């Protein structure tokens, strides 16, 4: 099936298999390697993308559902020079093994787009679909606050 959508600000038109997940399509076909499979069940957030302004687990979306939509991945943020969130995660030491980090960054981006000055509770709610086995979350919350302030 042929689909057309925006990927990281660029128009894309391509063939996809009807049963292929967006996760596999983005990672394998489009080479967006920041989109990672953790659980494959929508529980961990490692595959988080921004779909029409909302953070979404790409393992729970079929590639054909991207038709007519706007998708952002971490690669797109890098391409446009939007590294404020990544810089904050590094500054606050909110990265250990790094497997979950792209998903957290995409959820942080979606949160800050809707709420540029979130409280701790709003940050926790905004990131509740993302799991990390290494950091303990305190540094992640600090990183989101730093990114919200826009400091380098």
* Half-sphere exposure at residue 66, Cβ-oriented, CA atoms within 13 angstroms: 39
Tell which of 27, 43, 76 closes a domain: 76
**Amino acid 135: pLDDT:** 80
**Would you say residue 132 has pLDDT above 70?**
yes
CA count, 13 A, side-chain hemisphere, 104 = 28
* Per-residue model confidence as pLDDT tens digits over 36-81: 999 999 999 999 999 999 999 999 999 999 999 999 999 999 999 9
Region for 21 from its dihedrals, namely left if φ exceeds 0, alpha if ψ lies in -120 to 50, beta otherwise? beta
Q: What is the pTM of this model?
A: 0.94
Instruction: Residue 24: give the domain boundaries.
Output: 2-76
DSSP secondary structure letters along 83-141:
-HHHHHHHHTT--SS-SSHHHHHHHHHHHHHH-SS--HHHHHHHTTT---SSS-SHHHH
Looking up residue 50, the CATH number of its domain turns out to be 3.10.20.30
Q: Are residues 44 and 82 in the same domain?
A: no
Q: How far apart are CA 9 and CA 82, in angstroms?
A: 13
């Amino acid at each position: 099936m042929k689909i057309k959508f925006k990927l990281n600000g660029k128009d894309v038109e391509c063939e996809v298999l009807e049963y292929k997940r967006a996760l596999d399509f983005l990672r394998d076909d489009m080479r967006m390697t920041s989109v990672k499979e953790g659980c494959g069940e929508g529980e961990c957030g490692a595959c988080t993308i921004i779909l029409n302004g909302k953070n979404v687990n790409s393992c729970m979306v079929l590639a054909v559902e991207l038709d007519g939509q706007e998708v952002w991945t971490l690669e797109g943020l890098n391409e446009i020079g939007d590294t404020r969130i990544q810089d904050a995660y590094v500054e606050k030491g909110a990265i250990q093994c790094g497997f979950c980090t792209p998903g957290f960054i995409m959820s942080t981006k979606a949160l800050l787009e809707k709420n540029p000055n979130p409280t701790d509770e709003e940050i926790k709610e905004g990131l509740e679909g993302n799991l990390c086995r290494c950091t303990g979350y305190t540094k992640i919350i600090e990183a989101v606050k730093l990114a919200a302030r826009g400091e380098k």
